[in-house]
A and B are shown apart, each in its own frame.
Chain A
Amino acid sequence: MSYEEIIFYIVAAVAVIGALGVVLAHNVVHSALFLILALLAVAGVFILLSAEFLAVVQVLIYGGAVAILVLFAMMLTRVRDMPQALDGPQRPIAALAAGAFLGISILAVVTTDWPGETEKITVIPFRELGDALFRTWAIPFEIASLVLVVALVGAIILARGEEGE
């Protein structure tokens, strides 16, 4: 077991604990905090994948913006934190479905013969990533920005209420 693997297991464990916390916690705020933990751990995973830029983006956006947004929403909607209020009646089936999906997916992953070298990571130069983003993938980029504008405007209108203009 090499160093990378050990580090990977640690980071993965943290991420999984965070995810478990999100879905199992009895306190909403705890769920939110677990979410932040999970998101940051995933950033770590990104670093292990030599996608540092994405790791940074992840921390900034998710950890910075999304988590705060979620917490604010929680505050505004006064989510209670009693156990029966948090988990819906579908719990057993949900567990079953999720478990089934997990089983199938792991089966698929493990039994597939992945093409190419599956052991070596190719580091992607940052400069070329930027190049690609603004040249080859310029149109999706522009559309993404359009999506953001739409979401922005939409959120403002929806959240404002009837009495506003």
Chain B
Amino acid sequence: MIPIKHFLVLSTIFFSLGMYGVLARRSAVLILMSVELMLQAVSINFIAFAVYLSPGEFRGLIFAVFVITVAAAEVGLALAIVLRIFRNKATANVDEVDIMKW
């Protein structure tokens, strides 16, 4: 059997990589993809906990279902916003959109 720690370490690696991508990448689309990675990590975590540590309770699995659902909705919406911004500013690079600067 696979000890739970393996899954947890995998999920932290995923999360960290996603975090790096969010902070380092320039294009909005790429950032969104990194966010997807982070959400994946979260799902792995929840399911691992549900399956290993609290059998009989479905919370982790249900939560993972909702994570996927909401992630999908969020990506759609976020990309719509990106398209909007692109239309106005002809760029999808996040560091060129600084109208909210001091």
Contacts and interface: CB of A to CB of B under 8 A. Distances in A.
A37 B72 CA distance: 17
Contact of A105 (B12, B21, B64): B12
B69 A147 contact: yes
B20 A23 contact: yes
Interface in A113-165: 114-122, 124, 128-129, 132-133, 136-137, 140, 144, 147-148, 150-152, 154-156, 158-159, 161
A118 B52 contact: yes
B17 A129 contact: no
A4 B7 CA distance: 12
A90 B88 CA distance: 25
Interface string A1-39: 010110010001001100110110000100110010011
B16 A101 contact: yes
B20 A98 contact: yes
Contacts of A90: 23-24
A24 to B, nearest CB: 9
Interface in B42-98: 43-44, 47-48, 50-56, 58, 61-62, 64-66, 68-77, 79-84, 86-87, 92-95
Interface string B9-49: 11011111111111111111110111011001001100110
Interface string A47-79: 011110010011001100110011011101111
Nearest to A128: B58
Given A90-B24, A132-B58, A120 B52 contact: yes
B58 A94 contact: no
A144 B69 contact: yes
A161 B87 contact: yes
A42 B13 CA distance: 13
- Point out which of B13, B48, B56, B76 has the most chain A C-beta atoms below 10 A from its C-beta: B76
Given A15-B10, A16-B14, A85-B27, 15 more contacts: A8-B6, A19-B14, A22-B34, A23-B18, A35-B36, A35-B37, A45-B44, A58-B43, A66-B72, A74-B29, A118-B4, A122-B52, A132-B58, A137-B58, A155-B77
25 contacts: A4-B2, A5-B6, A16-B13, A22-B17, A22-B33, A23-B21, A23-B24, A28-B27, A31-B30, A38-B14, A38-B37, A49-B48, A61-B68, A66-B36, A66-B75, A77-B92, A88-B24, A97-B20, A99-B16, A109-B5, A110-B9, A129-B61, A144-B66, A152-B76, A156-B80
